[in-house]
Amino acid sequence: MIFQNAIWTITLVGMGLVTLGFVYAISQTGKPTDSAQAERSYRASNVLRRWLFLALLLVGFGVSYASLRHFPIPAQHAPLQASQVVDVVGHQWTWDISETRFKVGVPIEFRVTSDDVNHGFAIYAPDGRIVIQTQAMPGFTNKLLYTFRTPGTYKIMCLEYCGVAHHGMTAELNVVADGGKS
Amino acid sequence: MSALTLYPDNERLSRNERIVFNLYMISAVLLFLLMMLLGLTMRMTQATWTGVSVTLFYQMMTMHGAGMVGTMSLASTAVMWFFLRKYVTLHLWAFLANYILFLLGALCIIYSVFVGGFASAWTFLYPLPVHSMGLWSTNAAALFMVGYLLIGVGMLLYYLDAAAAIIRRFGNLGRGLGLQWLFRGEIDPNHPKAVVASTMVIIANSLGILAGAVVLVMCLINAYDPAVTLNALVVKNLIYWFGHMLINATIYMGVIAVYELLPRYTGKPYGISRPFLWSWAVSTLFVIIVFPHHLLMDYAEPRWMLVMGQLVSYGAGFPVFLVTAYGVLTNIHRSGVRWKMPSMLAVLALFGWAAGIVPAIIDGTISVNKVMHNTQWVPGHFHFYLLLGVLPMILTLLYHVVGSRARAPANSRTDRLGLFLYVVGGICFCMVFLYAGHMSVARRFAVHLPEWVPYDQAGSIAAMVLILGMLLFAIRIIVGLLKAPTDVDPAHPAG
């Protein structure tokens, strides 16, 4: 499953649960209770809140551990295990990329910086979805590690607003299969 | 019980108070409409339905962002003032000074953008303001920043007055926040929620505005003396520290209207509790330290800050879901609530906040941010909780005040039609943004790829429906606010 599609599904489930909570409470508003029942409802809601707290705490810890155990950003001050190093410099409004032809399955280290303003270096797969990104900042070099999995033409887009031609600041990368065919 | 009186006497406005409150709210409603029209024009430009130039598009984008954040701040400050003045002594001059400085700042920003051509987005990331490639001058950039400074000074002035008032009444800000009851002691059931929320905002937003002032002065010095270069990452941290707190403070000021007004329509007291105090204490800390989640794609940022950005983003959901949204749901549950415009808007507001925070929290995960950052996912989630959360909080108070002037809660057929259009248009508008974001549609692009245009067209239609609803609200509210109170004692002109 494409990662973004999984995120979309999880989001819809989360927002749907919130909606259900509101729909339930709203559907009950027309059934006023006496004070004894209200007291019982109040106690029950406090118990439910404790369980919700525990459930959210568990989910929070679980997701944090799973998503940070292998830190998703490569070490910036140590050598990366890449077969190829590519220098990327953003300018208003072009990309200067030292190599634009790559092979599938080869880890690439992109060293991304800018010589003027902030830019965003995002790699779009041939299917039009972002596979990875980092910021291109003046005075800093962000090291991005990526291994292309499918051949084709990948598009670079600037994802940090950088002035009037920001939307036109694009480039292309060609990724070929191990045998050399695109 | 006085808390459940629909229009209590201590909420009446004196003549001068009414004039200043009306100035705030009528300006805000008109600005909201204007900024929405700018937003619609931007969406229609992306949809290829207008001939707006790219230069004008980015100017409009800068104006829309700065204008919406500023107007949300202006209106939610008026919400905070409206309720806080019941519990502490606020000076009207400080409230008025904030309004005047806001107007002066807004004029600077409008002139800078539409005459000076400034188009650096509302976040003015260094060094773009002074690196326009000839499209705007240094003076235009400086005028924009001076505009921000004027607005910030006004807000600080108002917060200082409010802080002094809380300290005079409660001894210190910690006691205003209710920290003395976190672990032990019998909680004063009459301790006002408005004071707790206001104290939190005063602490957090004053820090944010000071950070903003520092970075604005740094950028102004650099603009006129380029030899004084700045560290782009430090500037970015300061800008997001300022920007995040400024926009989040609007939620925490706006929600006071829900706390104060909803129980009057449900008839059920909304008591203060230890979880409530804990949630506000924790939120005070979290809102101050969560800003690195805006910098997750700045790999040069220290790793501990990125981890903090993710974990605090998760933690920030607890108070929202388990205390405020849950509290509202238990308050309306089996209450026989009177469904009038203020109560419907209050429930909508909490729904918008709670549902809108879901995609925000998910995007706070570093590995998710790698594919969602600066796509339309981001405007998707913040429009959700601003359009369907904060703005309905403000409208809750406005409809309540309009009702109080007529001595009957607002609930006409036109009001309900406006609400229907606003909710349907708003939800569709935000969901189109989120859907496009998950399809990797970039945000802040004047020109879209052909395959992105259908989303822009759907978003434009939804925006039109939403704005129609807002137009009905605006007419009703402005006419209602300008109407003199019906039961004014001529000896004590208040109402």
Question: Helix, strand, coil % (nearest 5) of chain A?
Answer: 35, 30, 35
Given an 8 Å threshold on Cβ–Cβ distance, is A118 in contact with B275? no
Does B369 have pLDDT greater than 60? Answer: yes
Instruction: For residues B170-195, give the mean pLDDT.
Output: 96
Nearest to B438 among A4, A76, A161 (CB): A4
- Would an 8 Å CB–CB cutoff place A65 in contact with chain B? no
A55, with CB counted inside 10 A (0-12, 13-18, 19+), is exposed
Does A141 have pLDDT greater than 50? Answer: yes
Residue B162 phi, psi dihedral angles, 5° rounding: -65, -40
From residue B214, alpha-carbon distances to A58, B149, B159, B242, B324 in Å are 40, 10, 18, 10, 33
Does A31 have pLDDT greater than 50? Answer: yes
Given an 8 Å threshold on Cβ–Cβ distance, is A32 in contact with B334? yes
The tokens describing B107, both together, are 């004029």
Provide the 8-state DSSP code for B87: T
Angle, alpha carbons A142-A147-A148 (nearest 5°)? 120
Residue B326: its chain A contacts at CB < 8 A? Answer: 45, 49, 52
Given an 8 Å threshold on Cβ–Cβ distance, is A164 in contact with B133? yes
Given an 8 Å threshold on Cβ–Cβ distance, is A142 in contact with B300? yes
Q: Give me the amino acid identity at B295.
A: L
Angle, alpha carbons A116-A109-B307 (nearest 5°)? 80
SS3 B200: helix
| Domain segments of chain A as ranges | 3-68, 84-176
Does B226 have pLDDT greater than 90? Answer: yes
Provide the 8-state DSSP code for A181: -
pLDDT tens-place string over residues B295-310: 999 999 999 999 999 9
Per-residue model confidence (pLDDT) at position A181: 55
| Domain segments of chain B as ranges | 2-482
Given an 8 Å threshold on Cβ–Cβ distance, is A32 in contact with B335? yes
Q: Give me the amino acid identity at B427.
A: I
Rounded CA-CA distance B298/A137 in Å is 8
SS3 B480: helix
Rounded CA-CA distance B346/B8 in Å is 19
Per-residue model confidence (pLDDT) at position B494: 41
Instruction: For residues A22-32, give the mean pLDDT.
Output: 89
pLDDT band at B492 (very low <50, low <70, confident <90, very high): very low
Instruction: For residues A1-16, give the mean pLDDT.
Output: 96
pLDDT band at B495 (very low <50, low <70, confident <90, very high): very low
Residue B449 has, within 13 A of its CA and on its CB side, a CA count of: 15
CA distance B277 to chain A (A): 16
Q: Please, are residues A140 and B112 in contact by the beta-carbon 8 Å criterion?
A: no
Given an 8 Å threshold on Cβ–Cβ distance, is B335 in contact with A132? no
pLDDT band at A182 (very low <50, low <70, confident <90, very high): low
pLDDT tens-place string over residues A149-171: 999 999 999 999 999 999 999 99
* Smallest CA–CA distance from A111 into chain B, residue: B299
Given an 8 Å threshold on Cβ–Cβ distance, is B236 in contact with A141? no
Q: Which among B367, B375, B434 is the top mutation candidate for probing chain A, defined by the most A β-carbons within 10 Å of its own β-carbon?
A: B367
Given an 8 Å threshold on Cβ–Cβ distance, is B329 in contact with A21? yes
Nearest to B297 among A32, A37, A133 (CB): A133
Residue B393 has, within 13 A of its CA and on its CB side, a CA count of: 31
CA neighbor of B141 nearest in space, from B126, B159, B160, B155: B126
Per-residue model confidence (pLDDT) at position B486: 62
User: Which A positions 75-134 lie with beta carbon below 8 A of chain B?
Assistant: 76, 92, 116-118, 120, 122, 124, 128-134
Instruction: For residues A79-91, give the mean pLDDT.
Output: 94
Q: Which segments of B364-443 does DSSP mark as H helices, in order?
A: 366-372, 377-385, 391-406, 413-438
Strands A152-158 and A119-124: antiparallel
Per-residue model confidence (pLDDT) at position B493: 42
Does A113 have pLDDT greater than 50? Answer: yes
Strands A107-114 and A84-91: parallel
Residue A30: its chain B contacts at CB < 8 A? Answer: 336
What is the crossing angle of helices B54-84 and B138-170, to 10°?
Answer: 10
Rounded CA-CA distance B33/B473 in Å is 10
Report the complex ipTM.
0.95
pLDDT band at B490 (very low <50, low <70, confident <90, very high): very low
Given an 8 Å threshold on Cβ–Cβ distance, is A133 in contact with B370? yes
- Integer-rounded Cα Rg, in Å, for chain A is 24
Rounded CA-CA distance B495/B485 in Å is 5
Q: Which among B258, B335, B347, B456 is the top mutation candidate for probing chain A, defined by the most A β-carbons within 10 Å of its own β-carbon?
A: B335
Per-chain mean pLDDT for chain B: 94
CB pairs under 8 A between A and B: 217
pTM above the 0.90 mark? yes
Q: Which among B286, B339, B370 is the top mutation candidate for probing chain A, defined by the most A β-carbons within 10 Å of its own β-carbon?
A: B370
Instruction: For residues B205-217, give the mean pLDDT.
Output: 96
Rounded CA-CA distance B471/B30 in Å is 9
CA distance B219 to chain A (A): 14
CA neighbor of B74 nearest in space, from B175, B182, B152, B133: B152
Superfamily of domain A84-176: Cupredoxins -  blue copper proteins (2.60.40.420)
Residues B2-482, CATH architecture? Up-down Bundle (1.20)
pLDDT tens-place string over residues B57-96: 999 999 999 999 999 999 999 999 999 999 999 999 999 9
